[in-house]
Amino acid sequence: MTEERRSSALSVVVCGAGPAIAISSFITLAQQRGWTVQVIATPVALDFFDQAAVEKQTGNPVKSQYGKPGTPRSQIPDVIVLAPASSSSRFRSR
């Protein structure tokens, strides 16, 4: 019996921070290791990288908004990476 091998799905969640400009390098490293990469970006993160280039590189659309009911969904990921992680929240001491 032969077992069909599928590549593992990796979802990369990208926040709007300086390291996001290197997301294509991260994607390349993941793809070299056999991952199918999907990118989920915060709306601010879209200003840090070339969305069309990342979509071409991954073969998947960059998700940055909730999908309407009935729209195609991403593959369920085996792994989720949050990189770079940032927060716009401001903490105040009281």
What pLDDT band is residue 85 in, cutting at 50, 70 and 90? confident
Do residues 35 and 47 touch, judged by C-beta distance below 8 A? no
pTM value > 0.95: no
Q: What is the pLDDT of residues 17-59, one digit of tens each?
A: 999 999 999 999 999 999 999 999 999 999 999 999 999 999 9
Report which secondary-structure segment, H or E, holds 35: strand 35-41
Domain count, the chain: 1
Asked if the structure places residue 17 within a domain, the reply is yes
**Omega of the bond prior to 84 within 30 degrees of 0, cis?**
yes
Q: What is the DSSP letter of 81?
A: E
Asked if the structure places residue 75 within a domain, the reply is no
pLDDT at 88: 57
* Alpha-carbon span 82 to 40, nearest angstrom: 9
Asked if the structure places residue 79 within a domain, the reply is no
Which residue range forms the structural domain that includes residue 44?
A: 8-66
